[in-house]
Amino acid sequence: MAAGCVLLRNEGGLLPLTPAPAPAPGAAPHSAPGSTTGGLPGADTSGTAGDVAADVAADATTGGLPGGVRRLAVIGPNAAAARVQGGGSAGVFPAAVVSPLDGIREALSGTGTEVVHAEGVNLDTRPTPLHPGNSRDPRTGEPGVLVRYLAADGTEICAEHRLSGRILEPGDAPELARTAATVEVSALVTPEAPGEWRFAVVGLGAVTLHADGEPLIDTHVAAESDDPTYVHVAPSFRTAARKVTPGEPLHLVATRELAPGQGLAVALAADPPRPDEDRALAEAVAAARGADAAVVVVGTTDEIESEGFDRPSLALPGRQDELVAAVTAANPRTVVIVNSGGPVELPWRESAPAVLLCWFPGQEAGHGLADVLFGNAEPGGRLPTTWAAGAQGAPLPGTAPDAGVLRYTEGPYLGHRAWRRAGATPAYWFGHGLGYTTWAYEALTVRPAPPAADGEGASEYGALALVTVRNTGARAGREVVQVYLTTGPDDHDDGGPRLAGYAAVHAAPGGTAVAEVRVAPRAFERWSPREGRWVPRPGPYTLHAGASAARQPLSRPLDG
């Protein structure tokens, strides 16, 4: 997972974080900057961000804390339940998921670092399907749910155990299940928090929901759309509230009818009482203020980033931007982890000393993120797209058809080439990504393609770029060397830089490495619709080497 993480920003070398060593027996409790007590964060909020900033300045040469991080606040809606994969039909249900919070706690077990957690904001507007962490199959006792497909008279046709309360289609006996009149999802759920919980059933047609035999929902849900994503992936839901007793299991049973044209999707969901939004945000800020460092995990949801629909905005949903701004003001040693599958606006990016993009990191998310945060692995990803500071005014292609026709008027000017042509500066350029060391680009040698091995046909590459880089940092590292090609202009293209190839190299501190980047013959050609074939791009050809589309300190013409 670390290989795909993109470190967008790391001012003062805040990352990697250094855990505090395990305390000696009988040692006094730690009192974090901005706090006068070793107790829970927020017990004393008299400290100011300036107090913490003074501590940052005191050891800016190392980017860390003397003695390491003794209290770490892990904050954000995606900290305890990260989004590990895309939404829609691409979804799978792993046996277990390691959240960022769990991964961090496990990595710091046995050290002198205390971990505190605060959600800060809540993003869920749809109910949360049951999962192995809060449900048990009432028939076997295994984590997860029981799914039964029933005939019209209520007899069981087939049954299966599932890990998630969200069932998009039958798994074990699909042909047999499709003869059913009703699908039933049931589980034993033991609430941990007191108060009024929200229980829900997702699905179209006649739906019911019972808790310990008590009817909570019995209604008919009419389809609101015939869109396939709505019908088969995220249909409407109905919710009921019920007070619970912590520690006492509830037997939940949800049903929905199966009728032609209404899909097969069903879900049984449960959500604990939600805290007051303002109070939750204030508690997160207090936790950050009372810690040596903070990690904030923010991101998108299935409701704004998934298949089947366009995103109306690049903004993070809910009050996440407000949360990040408040936490970075309270603790300038804040790492922000962005958990999204594509570009999002980061209006606070200049105030957050470290910003790490983890995409959708998979079921081992927490372990991988902990490896990166604490320096066991270096973030190795580079941006495959250019990220705008904001969608407004960005040189993005239009996607609205005109009279039923969508014209691709942008031509070859997409991504970083569109930004360069517009003379605009994005938040982060294509190819950008930092590691835990620094690099100097020292030399570029360009060799034309050799003759084909058999003396006939084309060579396996069009040119070879040899790029010498030196590790100027204090630790071993990996650099992704990128080579861009410029050509002469023609009627279709201005010949501006385009990615021609890349290679990764490793070097010890002070060491050098030579990246061999092979440029494909096709890079020097373009497709001619008029001639129906590939034709050479006009010269002159120049290769440029650097760390991103915005930074290429070395250039060399192909013929020199």
Mean pLDDT across the stretch 457-471? 88
Residue 448 contacts residue 460 (beta carbons within 8 Å): no
Q: At what angle do helices 365-373 and 100-108 cross, to 10 degrees?
A: 50
Q: Could you report the per-residue pLDDT of 311-343, keeping only the tens digit for each?
A: 888 999 999 999 999 999 999 999 999 999 999
Residues listed for the chain: 560
Q: Is the dihedral of CA 62, 45, 366, 79 positive or negative?
A: negative
Structure tokens at 179: 């003869």
User: Dihedral of the CA atoms 333, 84, 223, 257 (nearest 10)?
Assistant: -130
| Residue 540 β-bridge partners | none
488 compared with 397, residue with greater pLDDT = 488
Find out whether 433 and 387 touch, Cβ atoms under 8 Å: no
Closest CA to 295 of 263, 335, 262, 265: 335
- What pLDDT is recorded for position 62? 39
State residue 560's pLDDT score: 47
- pLDDT class of 61 with cuts at 50, 70, 90: very low
Residue 444, token pair as written in the block: 């570029």
**Residue among 480, 493, 476 nearest 536 (CA):** 493
Confidence check: pLDDT of 456 > 80: no
Note the pLDDT of residue 317.
95
Which pLDDT value is given to residue 27? 65
Q: In this predicted structure, what is the pLDDT of residue 64?
A: 57
Q: How does the average pLDDT of the chain come out, rounded?
A: 90
Q: pLDDT band for position 309 (50/70/90)?
A: confident
Distances (CA, A) of 444 to 193, 332, 382, 504, 557: 62, 39, 21, 15, 10
Q: Taking the CB of residue 154, how many other CB atoms lie within 10 A of it?
A: 10
Dist CA 150 CA 156 (whole Å): 5
Average pLDDT over residues 298-319: 88
User: b/e map of 99-113 (b: 16 or more CB within 10 Å)?
Assistant: bbbbbbbebbeebbb
Q: With bands split at pLDDT 50, 70 and 90, how would you rate the model's confidence at 32?
A: low
pLDDT band at 458 (very low <50, low <70, confident <90, very high): low
Instruction: Find the angle CA(409)-CA(413)-CA(416) to the nearest 5 degrees.
Output: 145
Which tops the pLDDT comparison, 51 or 83?
Answer: 83
The dihedral of CA 55, 60, 66, 69: what is its sign?
positive
Q: Of all helices (H) and strands (E), which one includes residue 370?
A: helix 365-373
**Res 30: pLDDT:** 58
pLDDT over 50 (residue 49): no
Q: Which spans in 213-348 are helix H?
A: 228-232, 277-289, 320-330
pTM for this entry: 0.87
Mean pLDDT of 140-154: 96
Spatial separation of the C-alpha atoms in residues 281 and 424, rounded to whole Å:
35
Q: What pLDDT, in 10s, does the model give residues 399-452?
A: 889 999 999 989 999 999 999 999 999 999 999 999 999 999 999 999 988 766
| Token pair of 360 as six digits | 């959708």
Cα 224 from Cα 135, distance rounded (Å): 30
- Give the angle subtended at the CA of 526 by the CAs of 522 and 528, to the nearest 5°: 135
DSSP state letter for 529: T
C-alpha to C-alpha distance for 401 and 382, rounded to whole angstroms = 33
Residue 340's CB is within 10 A of a number of other CB atoms, namely 20
Phi-psi group of 379: left, alpha or beta (phi > 0 → left; psi -120 to 50 → alpha; rest → beta) = beta
Tens digit of each residue's pLDDT (9 = 90 or more) over 9-31 = 999 999 999 999 997 776 665 55
Distance CA 363, CA 369 (A): 11
**CA 102 → CA 96, 111, 193, 363, 543, distances in Å?**
12, 15, 19, 12, 46
Distances (CA, A) of 353 to 56, 93, 448, 526: 11, 35, 43, 42
User: Are 370 and 104 a contacting pair, CB within 8 Å?
Assistant: yes
The position carrying tokens 């299966």 is: 160
Q: Please give the DSSP secondary-structure letter assigned to residue 494.
A: -
Instruction: Show the DSSP H helices in 179-247 as ranges.
Output: 228-232
Listed residue (81, 121, 134) closest to 366, CA to CA? 81
Report residue 307's pLDDT band, with 50, 70 and 90 as the boundaries.
confident
| Model pLDDT for residues 384-405, shown as the tens digit of each residue | 999 999 988 899 888 889 999 9
| Structural tokens at position 277 | 């939004």
Rg (CA), the chain: 28
Residue 31 has a pLDDT of: 57
251 band by pLDDT with thresholds 50, 70 and 90? very high
Measured distance CA(437)–CA(459) in Å, rounded: 36
Closest CA to 7 of 439, 378, 477: 378
373 neighbors 335 (Cβ within 8 angstroms): yes
Q: Do β-strands 477-486 and 542-546 pair in parallel, antiparallel, or remain unpaired?
A: antiparallel
Question: Which candidate, 306, 309, 291, places its Cα nearest to that of 83?
Answer: 306
